Copies of this chain bind each other. A is one copy, B any other.
Amino acid sequence: MPENGQSVAVAPARLEQIERAVVDLFVRLAEVAGLPRSVGEIYGCLFICADPVPMDALMERLHLSKGAVSQGLRLLRSFGAVRTVYVPGDRRDHFTAERELRKLVSGYLQEKVVPHLRSGDERLKVIRALVAETNGGARKVLQERVAQLSRWHRRAEQIIPLLLRVLQQ
């Protein structure tokens, strides 16, 4: 049935197959990281490609809309997971994946967990104040619980630099 308008296999079929498998892998990873599927697709594609890729190529290869690719790239750049590359003689921007694990994790943590740690800290302060104003039988238990929460929080803050140090090399 040659009624298909798409080109079926322009480039080596095997290469496409590999690209698909890698993109698939990154889609799962995005899932775990709580990022949109399309972001995983885009990063995966950039990761495996030998050379920097322009937006329209991403749209075409991944069957994503212009908007999705534009927004996905923005997010990835905000993490420092993707860099914009200048290609002489081409008006379009090209994009490459940042492939250093430490930088990726660092960017992700900075954008997606550090803010939560901060707001958590403030919430804890509020809770501690509320407990301080309490009296009665519950007081003792509450203080114990809140102390535990504070320890958790401190641990979380300790672990981030530790993680980055381990990832350093």
Known pairs A47-B145, A155-B101, A167-B155; A18 contacts B130 (CB<8 A): yes
The answer to whether A87 has its CB under 8 Å from any CB of chain B is: no
The answer to whether A162 has its CB under 8 Å from any CB of chain B is: yes
CB distance from A5 to the nearest CB of B (A): 27
Partner pick for A48 among B116, B123, B142, CB 8 A cutoff: B142
The answer to whether A133 has its CB under 8 Å from any CB of chain B is: yes
The answer to whether A136 has its CB under 8 Å from any CB of chain B is: yes
Distance between Cα atoms of A112 and B31 in the complex (Å): 11
Task: Count A-side interface residues using an 8 Å CB cutoff.
Answer: 48
Partner pick for A166 among B101, B134, B159, CB 8 A cutoff: B159
Interface locus among A9-17, A54-62, A66-74, A77-85: A9-17
The answer to whether A7 has its CB under 8 Å from any CB of chain B is: no
Number of copies of chain A assembled together: 2
Q: Is the CB of A18 within 8 A of B159?
A: no
97-130 of chain A: CB within 8 A of chain B: 99, 101, 112-113, 116, 119-120, 123-124, 126-127, 130
The answer to whether A148 has its CB under 8 Å from any CB of chain B is: yes
CB distance from A81 to the nearest CB of B (A): 13
Distance between Cα atoms of A166 and B90 in the complex (Å): 50
Please provide the 10 A-B residue pairs with the shortest distance between their CB atoms, ordered closest to farther.
Answer: A50-B141, A18-B130, A21-B127, A25-B123, A34-B34, A32-B116, A14-B134, A101-B152, A48-B145, A15-B138
